[in-house]
Chains A and B, each alone.
Chain A
Amino acid sequence: MSAVPRVESDKSGKVETPNGARMREWRARITAFAHAHRSWTIVISMAIGAVLLYFWSAFPPFSFVQTQNTWISGFVNAGVFILLALGLNIVVGFAGLLDLGYAAFFAFGAYLYAFGASPFSHLHLNFLLLLVLGAVVAAIFGIALGAPTLRLRGDYLAIMTLGFGEIVPIVFLNAQKYTNGTNGIGGVDRPNIFGFTFPGIDQTAYYVLMAVVITVVMILVYRLLDSRIGRAWAAIREDELAAAANGINTVTTKLAAFALGATTAGFAGVLNASKLTIVDPTQFGFQVSFVVLSSIVLGGMGNPFGVAVGAFILYNIQAVLLKQLNATMENLHVPILQDIDFVKFQFLLFGIALVLMMMFRPEGLIPSQRRRRELHAADAESSEDLALVAPDAGDVSL
């Protein structure tokens, strides 16, 4: 091929250098590749992101805050929240069902692992087996909870799940014989995959495992989104009556969303229990459900990439930024501000952020185009011009 000629950009009218044209060509190629091979794109970008984050965390600005291993450990915890957000996104973002007790399924995964692999029960089952089993048990409870309410209006589901999320930790607390009550189950086995036992201090193995699980879940979620059932979810979310009239079995479709969301939470629960090596009822309160809900609203309901980013950011705000802010204010002796406990304010901030997002940018920071159009349907109707909300620049979905 000959050298790329100087082209005039049709929009800005500026003369572009050959370099710029080449850049554009590369971008076009990457976009084309991403559209044609989405799963590979996810694998490659996750790999690049994970490796970058792993090594970069040893250098500034990360190294100013804490050591690399602490960062990695934090990223693994953030990974748990990413998994939860991806799962809840199936329920809330794809199917439009508000689940306020999502932490309950997280608890099922965690307690299953703790019971199956700890000195408490004298069982030490295989990690991968328990990973699958945790997801299956969570899914079964998802179906059991969803079945009575999914025939009803969505609001009932919200209150039912809220109640369920409140009850499950109480049941785990009260069922002393199986869960060790308030103390929780401690000394849970660290994962052992094909003879390799995860070390406790160096978190690299957990990091790799988490990256792999997130990648797999991400691929599955994107494939679901584009499948027959993904379109059925979108139809139900937009107009349940119309969806039913078009031959979609709304009950089974909603149940599928519920079960799949619970499955992901089950994975997250097992991974979290195996990392913390202790499981107790206080880990699964309403606050967990709330943070996960906030992160998908922040990231962009319906867009898996967006909610993953949202969860990652929110976790780090919660675990690193606010604590760091406290320490900084204290060290610098800033008047007034040094007396404020920012960590105490975190849920107030999340609440305000959630409400502001819902009011002013309900599609989230990284929106899915379809969801944005739905959420702004009222505006579009008032201006009587649907073309106004046609997709514009900034679509970051993979």
Chain B
Amino acid sequence: MTAAAATATVSTVRQRPAWAIPAIAVGLVVVYFFLLTFILGLNPQTADHASQIAIQQVANALSIGAIYALIALGYTMVYGIIELINFAHGDVFMMGAFFAVLFAGMGAGSIPGLLHLSGPVENPILLIVYMAATLAVVMPITGLLNLTIERVFYRPFRGGSRLAPLITAVGVSFILQNVALVLFGSGDRNSPQIFPLSWRIDVLGASIPVLNFVILIIALGLMFGLQTFVRRTRLGRAMRATALDQQASKLMGVDVNQTIALTFAIGGALAGAAGVVWGYNFGFVRQDLGFNAGLKSFTSAVLGGIGNITGAVLGGFVIGFVENFCASLGQTKWAEFSVFLVLTLVLIFRPAGILGQQVGERA
């Protein structure tokens, strides 16, 4: 399976031209837009400005999809390399969102914030500095957190029973969630929406917050950076080699332990970035956020083909759109159900995911 996952990463690069997946993605977004416009047009209440609403929903879906995609990358990389579902990953994302509140905001629970920002920052240069600083602080911390989790909780199990690390991962997830509960309290905590929501751009008659574009740019930038890192650098090659065959990589002089630690650190940093962005977009953080987001992001990773980086990104956006579709039709309460339905259908009909190779998956 490791081999299958890793070859999937390699071979998809070779088989398809580089523009194929972005082109398909853009095409799907356009299809979604027309579908939504059509459905909203059927409802007399929304018929007048169906296309405007549809555009807004597309923007929302892209933002939430970008967040899921960032988290899904951590799942897919870790699963690709050591075949472990890191259940604690969603909670690392949640911690990232809290760290952003602690750094930039008013603090949470009994812990005071550092910069004490509470509202929009209208000065563009200052805003960029704040955002960059928050990312620069939060990403290393969550990276380190994930790395520590690997070092302390998962490494002792390497090469042993498969069930034990999985159960441990569930335990770690629960510990993180309850540490957050104890430190920051239950219920929604305010996260500073430092990006002014009044900044909007007109797209085909609908006014879209600039924030949605910024989130997309941050996320896509990080994904592109990751892709380049994995494909072009020495350490990236070591990661791919370890995913293919740990024993052989060891023989070829790859420091497997270090490579796995690096994978966790990168995954954690991306989850931290997702947490920061979440705070900007939604303006609140809660200690049980990681559970749900983690579940959806893992679904994204499976949907895209686990172990496949492009697949995880694509899967994240698809899940974002599925969830948004329910919300657009006023059926938010069924959003989670439909995401779960997607997971079930994928596992039944295409367990290797959209971009994964169809291989026998029995252990």
Contact = CB atoms under 8 A, between A and B. Distances in A.
Given A152-B351, A347-B178, A158 B340 contact: no
Contacts, number: 132
Contact of B347 (A160, A171, A286, A348): A160
Kindly state the interface size class of chain A when it binds its partner.
35 or more
Given A96-B163, A164-B340, A344-B181, A152 B361 contact: yes
B166 to A, nearest CB: 5
Contacts of A155: 79, 83-85, 162, 166
Nearest to A346: B178
A348 B182 CA distance: 9
B156 interface: yes
B161 to A, nearest CB: 6
A153 B170 contact: no
Given A160-B344, A166-B336, A378-B159, A355 B172 contact: yes
A347 B186 CA distance: 13
Contacts of A151: 351, 362
Interface in B334-363: 334, 336-337, 340, 343-344, 347-348, 351, 361-363
Contact of B337 (A158, A171, A374): A171
Contact of A170 (B164, B333, B343): B333
Given A163-B340, A344-B181, A359-B153, A354 B166 contact: no
Given A166-B340, A167-B337, A359 B172 contact: no
A244 B360 CA distance: 14
B362 A351 contact: no
Contact of B179 (A160, A348, A359, A378): A348
B98 to A, nearest CB: 16
Nearest to B345: A148
Interface string B173-210: 11101110110000000000000000000000000000
Contacts of A286: 291
Interface in B109-155: 153
Contacts of B178: 345, 347-348, 351
Contacts of A344: 181-182
A293 interface: yes
Interface string B208-229: 0000000000000000000000
Contacts of A294: 171
A163 B299 contact: yes
Contacts of A347: 174, 177-178, 181
Nearest to A163: B340
Contacts of A154: 162-163, 166, 363
Given A163-B340, A348-B182, A240 B161 contact: no
Contact of B167 (A152, A350, A354, A378): A354
A312 B4 CA distance: 44
Contacts of B181: 344, 347-348
B171 A358 contact: yes
A354 B170 contact: yes
B167 A98 contact: yes
A362 interface: yes
B160 interface: yes
Contact of B182 (A162, A174, A297, A345): A345
A355 B171 contact: yes
Contacts of B87: 162
Given A152-B347, A159-B85, A290-B174, A358 B168 contact: yes
Contacts of B175: 348, 351-352, 355
A162 B174 CA distance: 13
A53 interface: no
B325 to A, nearest CB: 17
B159 A170 contact: no
A167 B336 contact: yes
B301 to A, nearest CB: 10
A351 B361 contact: no
A151 B360 CA distance: 10
B1 interface: yes
A149 interface: yes
B156 A359 contact: yes
A363 to B, nearest CB: 10
Contacts of A171: 337
Interface of B: 1, 79, 83-85, 87, 153, 156, 159-168, 170-175, 177-179, 181-182, 291-292, 295, 298-299, 302, 333-334, 336-337, 340, 343-344, 347-348, 351, 361-363
21 contacts: A148-B348, A149-B347, A153-B1, A153-B361, A153-B362, A154-B363, A159-B85, A160-B344, A163-B295, A163-B299, A166-B336, A170-B336, A174-B334, A290-B170, A347-B174, A351-B171, A351-B173, A351-B175, A352-B171, A358-B165, A358-B168
The 3 closest A-B pairs by CB, nearest first: A351-B174, A348-B178, A354-B171
Given A166-B292, A174-B337, A352-B175, 4 more contacts: A158-B85, A166-B340, A347-B177, A348-B175
